[in-house]
Amino acid sequence: MGKAQAGDTRQGCRGRERQRLREELHIGMRLRQIRGLHQLTQGQVADRLALNRTAYTHYENGVNLPDILTLVRLAGVYGMPPEDLVAFLVGHGGEAPPG
């Protein structure tokens, strides 16, 4: 592989990494938005999920993404079907969360 091709490959990887980070931050902002609409603190949501507050805070700050079981439990906290929560978090559910 020539130098130009190697540079293109590195650029592509960096671009995908930047996109992944933007998506994680977007999901975190949406988690914060829905929590605020339900007038809950991070600690309250964490307690309902049986997590420590720091773990939940990492979701809202885009440090980590919640796993599928946590998303299902989050949907229960907010009284909505899991698929509606996921659609809202990834931006396919409009500006206001359903429910």
Q: What is the pTM of this model?
A: 0.74
The pair of structure tokens assigned to 62 is 């885009």
64: domain CATH number is 1.10.260.40
Residue 95, in any domain of the structure: no
Structural domain count of the chain: 1
Domain that holds residue 14: 3-89
Residue 20, in any domain of the structure: yes
Q: What is the pLDDT of residue 19?
A: 73
Cα separation, 56 vs 48, in Å, equals 11
- Which value, to the nearest 10 degrees, does the dihedral of the CA atoms of residues 80, 59, 46, 84 take? 0
Residue 9, in any domain of the structure: yes
Q: What pLDDT digit, counting tens, does each position of 17-73 carry? A: 777 667 778 899 999 999 999 999 999 999 999 999 999 999 999 899 999 999 999
Residue 58, in any domain of the structure: yes
- Max alpha carbon distance in the chain (Å)? 56
Residue 23, in any domain of the structure: yes
